[in-house]
Structure 1
Amino acid sequence: MMMKPNTVLWAVGLVMSSQAMAQSNVSLYGSLDLGLLSISNTSSGVGYLPKASSPGGGSVQLKDGGIGNSNWGLKGEEDLGGGLKALFQLQGNLKANSGESGGPNSSGGTSVFNQMATVGLGGEFGDIRIGRQVSPLYYALASSDARGARYFGSALTALVGLNSASGLYLGNNSNPAFGTIYNDNAVVYNAPTWNNLSLSAAYAFGNTPGSQQANSQQTLAALYSANGLKLSAFYYNGYGNSAPAAAVLLGSAAKAEAAGFTANANTNRLASLGGMYTRGAYTVSASWMGARNPVQLNHLVGGADSLDLWSVGAAWRVAPLANLSAGYYRIKDNTHAGNTSTQFALGLDYFLSRRTTLYVEAAQVNNKGANMNTSPVYASPVAANKSVSAWMAGLRHSF
């Protein structure tokens, strides 16, 4: 029987891909995370902009991402000989409740691989990767948070609150007001671990014609891990940010105030120190983050150019398959006296298997000040100067 042309092409492609995979190690992986979310305060405004926010009332919804957003990816390596390896990784969010690709971390539009698209080389020297990738500061952030920098009530949601307090944060993660979770156009070097110390450095090109500095970002991060103790530190510096784009949405007065945010202006700096210690079933953590606008333009449309974030946390392995964690996060506005945001979160994870987790979590946030609109839920903006309570129960499965 004669095979159809499409069948022949499919068969040839299968053989070729099988041969390619035989020469290298390629893995398909991902996670699906869905839960029922109840939140008392939502924003009917634009993104995370405090001055464009307005109370939208409470909401009960099926939400993607109680621990982390659903995602999928491909990663692999090829042995090049002499201890040298070629590396690649592609990873993107998907909305499990609708099946759409992309998510809140998309660099623009609906990006398929909005989290990572990297290629690199690894060996005894460590590894160097180029492309869009997770910023080294995120790993430092997560290593000093008993809540694990998850998408509900954690150091990550507090970092988003830190950015929204600037008054000009649209929700992007490539060059926001303070720090970044993801870097476009980045070169990242991870040094080999030495005496339990890991160092990483990143440089993100601004890709701006006529200026090497414009819209560029630099990050240094250090992690120490030994005998249950983890210590972390990072320093982030950036030029240009989303302020002008945000100002367009806030009217002519805001445009004038944001005029100083040129692509070459050093308007984005974030530093952190943190630690976490685990002994037996118990874990404690603490951290500090300082967010600054180095050029002090005071063009923040009612927001702040100097903020501090302090956090403490604890976790207890109440049973072999159950972990209880709590975190307290406080943002202080150094520009406007009395403007603060406090967030308390509590959660229980039950491990059905190594890959499947049931979770239930709750959080309370008190926002005080016209530029304070911290949300306990990642990618769920709330109205400014309003308290927020939320709970979520869900299931996460990784493959």
Structure 2
Amino acid sequence: MKRMLIVFAAAMPIATLANAQGSVTLYGLIDEGFEAISNATTSGGAPGGRQFRLDATSGLNSSRWGLKGREDLGGGLAALFQLENGFELNNGRLGQGGALFGRQAFVGIESKQLGTVTLGRQYDSVIDYVGKLEFGDSNVGTGHSAHPADLDNFNNSRRTNNAVKYTSNDYGGLTFGGMYSLGGVAGSVARNQIFSLGSGYRSGPITLGVAYLQARNPATSLFGSNPSDTPTSNGLTGTPVLSGYAGASAYNVIGAGALYTLGDAIIGANYSNVRFSGIPALGKTSAVFNDFEANLQYHFSPRLLGGIAYNYLHSSHVSNSVGGANYSQLSAGMDYTVSRRTDLYAALQYQTANGHDSTGAVAVASIAGVSPSSNRQQTVGRVGLRHRF
């Protein structure tokens, strides 16, 4: 009996050490706001006039909770995982089309010498390296500040399933990475596949990012990545900015952005080129979008941050009656930090449209996160509260 006690006592420090080398963290964020929307349309397409609502999905952040963990394996290696759930605070529904961990779900290995490899549902390189430079991803820009229809995915509207991802270590401010998603279609390696590459650089006041993303059969692979998505009801078909191009065989994004900190001010700009190619309904032609954004943020005090951004989106003419629309959007916001975990904010977006959209109809304003306008103008105002835990 005495020997057993000695062995047990000797083993206790080892067990404690092994436990200390691993950790699991529960975290989350709740963002709720009151919104007023002009010129909203009903689900049937009829003009609905003004709309007032509570919304927990298009604030400074969308509401979520998650678990992430890391275990030291020795030799400079560590195992890690992250499971992140999105939800609608006002009705308790799951976000991302009903996915339990629809925001992120992955497991991987990290090396201090070689970088990190992860597998699962993840963010693409456009989100990782350029999206964070968009005004809509700042601490004063809401989800409505995203580029129209978030067509370039800078605002993280879509995730990638079945993905293998590599992220480098930081080399003097330089980082890079790539991702490949297997389509999983028997007899066709290319069908439904997604891949992306990107790089970022940060040194002193300068932050830079560039990335490329390609998705084959995007209505199914990328825009149709949530459980409730179907070929006729997904991120492509829900907005006239893009719905006419839902049958495209490929979707390509080239994005670049920069931020420069000058005293209390942060000056930024970003650009994206988006191409939908091989559109069957339009004779296998391509539709091209060019999006430009300039933004400014300013710290009026340690607690008060304000910002403004202008975004211009131009779509190419695909035929005499389809395409050629232009969308101009002005976004502004203010954020006041109440405590380390809580802040109050207000935001406003105004958008105008002209030309003809992807469906061949006269273009209407279509601010991200709300139903399209009943005419060429639309305004969204929001006041909200964000709390982290």
- After superposing the two structures, state which structure 1 stretch, 285-294 or 333-342, moved more: 333-342
Matched position secondary structure for 1:138 = helix
TM-score (norm 1): 0.78
Alpha-carbon offset, residue 132 of structure 1: 0.3
In the other structure, the counterpart of 1:152 is: 143
Structure 1's 54 and 128: CA in aligned 2 closer, same or farther, altered over 3 A? farther
1:80 to 63, 73, 78: 73
Alpha-carbon offset, residue 217 of structure 1: 0.6
Aligned pair count?
343
Structure 2 runs not aligned, ≥5 long: 1-15, 221-229, 238-243, 358-362
Alpha-carbon offset, residue 260 of structure 1: 6.5
In the other structure, the counterpart of 1:387 is: 377
In the other structure, the counterpart of 1:396 is: 386
In the other structure, the counterpart of 1:132 is: 121
TM-score (norm 2): 0.80
In the other structure, the counterpart of 2:182 is: 205
- After superposing the two structures, state which structure 1 stretch, 276-285 or 132-141, moved more: 132-141
2:24 to 20, 23, 26: 26
- Check conservation: 2:106, 2:122, Cα contact below 8 A: yes
1:225 to 179, 190, 202: 202
- Check conservation: 2:245, 2:276, Cα contact below 8 A: no
- Within-5 A mapping of 1:5-44: 24-44=22-42
- After superposing the two structures, state which structure 1 stretch, 18-27 or 227-236, moved more: 18-27
Structure 1's 353 and 132: CA in aligned 2 closer, same or farther, altered over 3 A? same
Structure 1's 220 and 259: CA in aligned 2 closer, same or farther, altered over 3 A? closer
Structure 1's 69 and 132: CA in aligned 2 closer, same or farther, altered over 3 A? same
In the other structure, the counterpart of 1:356 is: 342
Alpha-carbon offset, residue 120 of structure 1: 0.3
Alpha-carbon offset, residue 272 of structure 1: 1.1
Can you list the C-alpha shifts for 1:178-227, whole angstroms capped at 9, x where unaligned? x9741111111001111311101000111111111100011011111111
Q: Could you tell me how far apart the structure 2 residues matched to 1:283 and 1:366 are? A: 26
Measured on the aligned residues, the alpha-carbon RMSD in Å equals: 3.0
Structure 1 runs not aligned, ≥5 long: 1-17, 47-52, 164-172, 174-178, 251-256
Counting aligned pairs with the same residue, the percent is 27
Alpha-carbon offset, residue 83 of structure 1: 1.0
Structure 1's 239 and 180: CA in aligned 2 closer, same or farther, altered over 3 A? farther
Can you list the C-alpha shifts for 1:357-386, whole angstroms capped at 9, x where unaligned? 10001110112234245543x432213652
Q: Are 1:344 and 2:330 an aligned pair?
A: yes
In the other structure, the counterpart of 1:245 is: 231
Q: Are 1:122 and 2:110 an aligned pair?
A: yes
- Check conservation: 1:213, 1:239, Cα contact below 8 A: yes
Q: Could you tell me how far apart the structure 2 residues matched to 1:54 and 1:300 are? A: 27
Matched position secondary structure for 2:130 = helix
Q: What amino acid does structure 2 have at the position aligned with 1:379?
A: G
Alpha-carbon offset, residue 138 of structure 1: 1.1
Q: Are 1:188 and 2:200 an aligned pair?
A: no
Q: Could you tell me how far apart the structure 2 residues matched to 1:247 and 1:323 are? A: 38
Alpha-carbon offset, residue 20 of structure 1: 9.4
Structure 1's 31 and 276: CA in aligned 2 closer, same or farther, altered over 3 A? same
Structure 1's 191 and 69: CA in aligned 2 closer, same or farther, altered over 3 A? same
Matched position secondary structure for 1:286 = strand
In the other structure, the counterpart of 1:56 is: 48
In the other structure, the counterpart of 1:319 is: 301
Alpha-carbon offset, residue 294 of structure 1: 3.8
Structure 1's 119 and 298: CA in aligned 2 closer, same or farther, altered over 3 A? same
In the other structure, the counterpart of 1:12 is: none
Can you list the C-alpha shifts for 1:327-369, whole angstroms capped at 9, x where unaligned? 1111101125752111101000001112111000111011223
Q: What amino acid does structure 1 have at the position aligned with 2:330?
A: F
